[in-house]
């Protein structure tokens, strides 16, 4: 039996991911701040539910402990919990909203990876982070949201090597505009302009593609009308000595790794 844990699993993309993973044969743990909704999804997919505030390190450890205690381990962790920042690009930063966006969209990734790594090391498992297309290009109307998603992708790429040494894969998916309540009034405006939106099922299919693959450290871009594919980041410039010699710094890891 393989076990998958999905944060933000109570609705929208998260619920579609839970259904997709259950169809693949995983026992699914639905983690969400809304326990009642999480329990409904868990009942539909034959799994269990746990109330989780992903911005709280203790809650992240508790959700992993639930998966291990209730189902014997953890094989797949999908970090899908996310919120809009509601912070416009105009001066006058709302610090409380800024901190909340970072707490859910970024801390929820870092804390989730940290809490789950021991269990995933035991199973040779993997992490999939639900980021956003906003991580790959400037999101002019929502820079704080873009900040959180870009940071999450950077973390995935940086952690892929140390996690690989522990036998754990980690990847991100970066979907574009998706037809869920998350979009709010934006969805109506897009439909009026006949702008095609992704469905939650299409995003869940991209998660399946990543879960059943073998890559790590990748960010999969997904937009309506195109299949999901790994985004090709440009090479960073190399350091050059005065004599014209290029110098590349070899990656280094902590002594524990």
Parent domain of 136 = 2-247
Residue 253's pLDDT is 64
Is residue 186 assigned to a domain? yes
> Mean pLDDT over residues 230-242, rounded?
93
**For residue range 37-65, what is the model confidence (pLDDT) as tens digits?**
999 999 999 999 999 999 999 999 999 99
Domain of residue 188, CATH code: 3.40.50.720
In a domain, 240, yes or no: yes
3-state helix/strand/coil string of the chain: CEEEEEECCCCHHHHHHHHHHHHCCEEEEEEECCHHHHHHHHHHHCCEEEECCCCCHHHHHHHHHHHHHHHCCCCEEEECCCCCCCCCCCCCCCHHHHHHHHHHHHHHHHHHHHHHHHHHHHHCCEEEEECCHHHCCCCCCCHHHHHHHHHHHHHHHHHHHHHHHCCCEEEEEEECCECCHHHCHHHHHHHHCCCCCECHHHHHHHHHHHHCCCCCCCEEEECCCCCCEECCCCCCCCEECCCCCEECCCCCCCCCC
Regarding predicted confidence, which is higher, 134 or 180?
Answer: 134
Average confidence (pLDDT) over 12-24: 97
Is residue 118 situated within a structural domain?
A: yes
The number of distinct structural domains making up the chain is: 1
Is residue 117, in this structure, part of any structural domain at all?
A: yes
What is the pLDDT confidence band of residue 180, given thresholds at 50, 70 and 90?
Answer: confident
Tell me, yes or no, whether 89 lies in a domain.
yes
* Residues 241-252 pLDDT 10s: 999 999 987 776
Residue 145 annotated as catalytic: yes
Catalytic residue among 98, 145, 155, 231: 145
Task: Look at 25-29, 31-35, 87-91, 201-205 and tell me which has the smallest mean pLDDT.
Answer: 87-91
């Amino acid at each position: 039996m393989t076990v998958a844990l999905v944060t933000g699993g109570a609705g929208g993309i998260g619920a579609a991911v839970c259904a997709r993973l259950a169809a693949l044969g995983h026992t699914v743990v639905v983690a969400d701040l809304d326990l009642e909704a999480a329990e409904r999804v868990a009942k539909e997919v034959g799994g269990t539910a746990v109330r989780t505030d992903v911005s709280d390190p203790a809650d992240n450890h508790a959700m992993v402990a639930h998966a291990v205690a209730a189902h014997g381990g953890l094989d797949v962790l999908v970090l899908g919990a996310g919120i809009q920042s509601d912070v416009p690009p105009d001066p006058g930063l709302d610090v409380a909203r800024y901190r909340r966006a970072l707490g859910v969209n970024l801390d929820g990734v870092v804390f989730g990876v940290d809490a789950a790594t021991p269990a995933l090391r035991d199973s040779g498992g993997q992490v999939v982070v639900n980021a956003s297309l906003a991580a790959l290009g400037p999101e002019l109307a929502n820079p704080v949201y873009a900040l959180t998603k870009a940071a999450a992708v950077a973390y995935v790429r940086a952690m892929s090597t140390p996690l690989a040494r522990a036998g754990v894969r980690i990847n991100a998916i970066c979907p574009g505009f998706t037809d869920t309540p998350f979009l709010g009034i934006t969805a109506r405006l897009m439909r009026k302009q006949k702008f095609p939106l992704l469905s939650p099922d299409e995003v869940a299919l991209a998660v399946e593609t990543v879960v059943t693959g073998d890559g790590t450290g990748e960010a999969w871009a997904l937009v309506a009308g195109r299949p999901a594919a790994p985004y090709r980041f440009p090479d960073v410039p190399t350091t050059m000595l005065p004599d014209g010699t290029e110098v590349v710094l070899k990656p280094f890891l902590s002594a524990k790794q």
